[in-house]
Each structure stands twice: as structure tokens, then as C-alpha cells.
């Protein structure tokens, strides 16, 4: 392994859904049970709802080494979900019920699509980013 790359398996407690409080725990508890295990579908190889393509993009963005999605542990999946689908889009700043629904929508349709839908509902410019 290149010394400049991080290994998701070394994250240990960082992958815990409780480190940012109950909001993420609630959201992941709502969404993860419906995501299932490893399969190959229209999106390609998928494990726990995360496609190989999405995992590759996440790992590249954060300088983590390549990981076959088939080998992804539950902790790995929760770490990706927390950062990519909860904190990065800002869902952690929303009220609990809204955060959970936006997270679930974002996991299934993309966070930008989820944000645009919310922006349309509240009459804001649908730019796909939370905030001004």
C-alpha cells in the first residue's frame, strides 16, 4: 500500500454511527436495513447500498486505497454513508426528521437530487446545495 493512502479497515471507531450523535444513528437505522448485502444490479456491483463506482469516487476523493465493494464491512459502509451522504451535503445541520428523510432520499437518488427536491418544496432556487 502506498504510504500516502489511508486504509478504511484502519478506521476503527471512526466508523461508528454514534460519533456525531443521535441524528446519524437514527438516519442510518432507518435506511441501512433496506439496502441489503452484496449484489450486482443495474448500477453494477453494490454492497449495503453503496455501488463500486460510488465507493471508488469516495476513496479517491479522500485518498483511501482501493477496496472491492464486496469486501466492505458494515463499519466501512457506515463511514462512507456518514461522510458522503450525511455530513458533506449538510444533512447533519437539519432537524432530525428532515435529516433522516433527506439522507434516505440522498442515498437512493443522490444528495443533489434530494436537496433540489427540498428546495423546490420550500420555494428556493433549486441549485442542489444547502444554504445560501
Which band of pLDDT confidence, cut at 50, 70 and 90, is reported for residue 8? very low
Distance, in Å, from the CA atom of 77 to the CA atom of 42, rounded to the nearest integer, reads 20
Q: Per-residue DSSP letters for the chain?
A: --TTSB-GGG-GGGG-TTTT-HHHHHHHHHHGGGT-S-EEETTEEEETTEEHHHHHHHHHHTTBPP--GGG--HHHHHHHHHIIIIITTTGGGS-HHHHHHHHHHHHHH-HHHHHHHHHHHHT----SSS--
107, 33 contact by CB (below 8 A): no
- pLDDT over 90 (residue 7): no
Question: What is the pLDDT averaged over residues 62-81?
Answer: 94
Distance, in Å, from the CA atom of 24 to the CA atom of 96, rounded to the nearest integer, reads 9
Question: What is the pLDDT averaged over residues 11-30?
Answer: 64
* Greatest distance between any 2 Cα atoms in the chain: 48
pTM of the shown model: 0.80
Question: What is the pLDDT averaged over residues 95-114?
Answer: 95
Q: Supply the mean pLDDT for the chain.
A: 85
Amino acid at each position: 500500500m502506498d504510504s500516502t493512502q489511508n486504509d478504511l479497515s484502519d478506521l476503527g471507531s471512526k466508523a461508528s454511527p454514534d460519533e456525531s450523535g443521535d441524528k446519524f444513528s437514527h438516519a442510518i437505522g432507518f435506511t441501512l436495513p433496506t439496502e441489503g448485502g452484496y449484489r450486482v444490479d443495474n448500477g453494477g456491483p453494490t454492497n449495503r447500498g453503496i455501488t463500486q463506482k460510488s465507493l471508488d469516487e469516495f476513496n479517491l476523493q479522500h485518498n483511501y486505497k482501493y477496496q472491492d465493494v464486496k469486501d466492505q464491512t458494515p463499519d466501512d459502509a457506515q463511514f462512507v454513508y456518514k461522510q458522503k451522504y450525511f455530513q458533506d451535503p449538510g444533512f447533519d445541520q437539519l432537524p432530525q426528521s428532515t435529516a433522516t428523510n433527506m439522507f434516505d432520499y440522498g442515498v437512493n437518488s443522490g444528495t443533489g437530487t434530494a436537496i433540489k427536491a427540498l428546495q423546490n418544496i420550500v420555494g428556493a432556487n433549486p441549485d442542489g446545495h444547502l444554504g445560501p
